[in-house]
Amino acid sequence: MSSHSRPRWLSVFERTNLVVIGLAAVAVLWTRSAGVAYVSAGAVACSLSVKVLKRGIRQPRPALGKKKTYGMPSTHSASIAHFVSSVLLASLYLPLHPSVPGGDTARVVAPILVLPLAGTIAVSRVWLGHHTWTQVAAGCAYGVGWACLCFTLWTRGLNEYGRTIEQFFDELFGWR
């Protein structure tokens, strides 16, 4: 779909990376949670690893798209799938961080908010002509797998380092 024939509202999704980065930064600064910072760093690592993978696969983007880089898998889809999978896993299996308001309600509200946003961002990659459905599906699968790997590492010991880092900054800056 060319930029002239697509609905104007769709242009909002051209810069979803900036919105997601901004929301992640706000979440890290607001919660001061090592876990939230870890998920955000995991998304960056996921994105970088996808870019390396793209160079190996070398599958072009759809013919009508303007981007000149390779398309398989979709980096946006991988990153957003990492974020949403991390939120789901944390909501299901981890204790709430003390900075998260709302108690157990947050376990339900967070997935309700992020699932539709993530799905819309992923399909917008096709609507915008940047990727094929296969490239988006591969990106989503990669992001889910990456999140599962990161979650496993976190729950098998990295969370202890997170607590230590949080305590250090709490004492240094007098937080909490």
Residue recorded with tokens 């051209």: 14
User: CB 166: neighbour CB atoms within 10 A?
Assistant: 21
- Give residues with Cβ within 8 angstroms of 73, minimum separation 6: 50, 53, 54, 57, 135, 136, 138, 139, 141, 142
Q: How far is CA 11 from CA 2, 21, 66, 104, 157, in A?
A: 11, 18, 14, 36, 42
Look up residue 15 and give its DSSP letter. G
Residue 130 pLDDT > 60: yes
Residue 71 pLDDT > 90: no
- The rounded distance, in Å, linking the Cα atoms of 108 and 43 is 22
pLDDT of residue 142: 96
Residue 2 confidence class, pLDDT cut points 50, 70, 90: very low
CA 108 and chain centroid, separation: 18
User: Is the previous residue joined to 73 through a cis bond, with omega within 30 degrees of 0?
Assistant: yes
Q: What is the pTM of this model?
A: 0.80
